[in-house]
């Protein structure tokens, strides 16, 4: 009976290792930060995009505190969000996050609680999407709209038409 139990355990471990390898292949192929953080804010999983973003081998992150990986300031900004995810709330927020190239980039962060069948939440999946380009476009649009609004407010109530040679006709 012990030989059968050991064979079943080894087979289960082999299957689990194969699933984990497949998960890593898939998450490493996605151009977004994907991690899993436990209740103590310790990384238990991080995909290859962390290498691109922070310049850190994701395998070296496992077992380390989030603060040690993203820095004190970024952690102070994010730790309450991690706790919200650990409380069972799935949500999305945006933040500025230091990048390995020395810049700070806008990141959309999704928190997805890992809820066990018994209702416990041992950790949270954290998904980060670089939205810097969208953020810059939206900021430029706001500035443009504000300039337009200022111009329209300046000519409040004044309408006119121009002739073909550019002279103003029929002021109202």
pLDDT in tens, 12-57: 788 888 888 888 888 888 889 999 999 999 999 999 999 988 888 9
Q: How far apart are CA 14 and CA 69, in angstroms?
A: 31
pLDDT of residue 172 exceeding 50, the answer is: no
Is residue 158 scored above 70 in pLDDT? no
Residue positions counted in the chain: 172
pLDDT, average across residues 86-101: 92
pLDDT at residue 152, as a whole number: 63
CA separation, residue 151 to residues 95, 147, 156, 158, 172 (Å) = 32, 6, 9, 12, 18
Q: What are phi and psi of 53, to 5 degrees?
A: -80, -50
Rounded CA-CA distance 172/65 in Å is: 68
pTM of the full predicted structure?
0.71
pLDDT at 110 (0 to 100): 97
């Amino acid at each position: 009976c012990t030989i059968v139990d050991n064979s079943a355990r080894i087979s289960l471990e082999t299957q689990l290792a194969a699933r984990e390898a497949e998960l890593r292949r898939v998450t490493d192929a996605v151009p977004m930060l994907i991690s899993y953080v436990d209740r103590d804010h310790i990384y238990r999983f991080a995909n290859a995009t962390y290498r691109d973003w922070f310049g850190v081998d994701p395998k070296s992150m496992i077992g380390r505190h989030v603060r040690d990986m993203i820095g004190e300031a970024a952690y102070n900004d994010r730790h309450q969000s991690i706790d919200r995810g650990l409380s069972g709330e799935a949500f999305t927020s945006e933040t500025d996050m230091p990048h390995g190239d020395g810049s700070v980039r806008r990141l959309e962060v999704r928190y997805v609680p890992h809820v066990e069948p018994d209702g416990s939440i041992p950790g949270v999946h954290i998904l980060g999407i670089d939205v810097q380009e969208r953020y810059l476009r939206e900021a430029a649009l706001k500035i443009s709209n504000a300039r337009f609004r200022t111009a329209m407010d300046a000519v409040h109530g004044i309408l006119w038409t121009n002739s073909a040679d550019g002279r103003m006709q029929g002021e109202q």
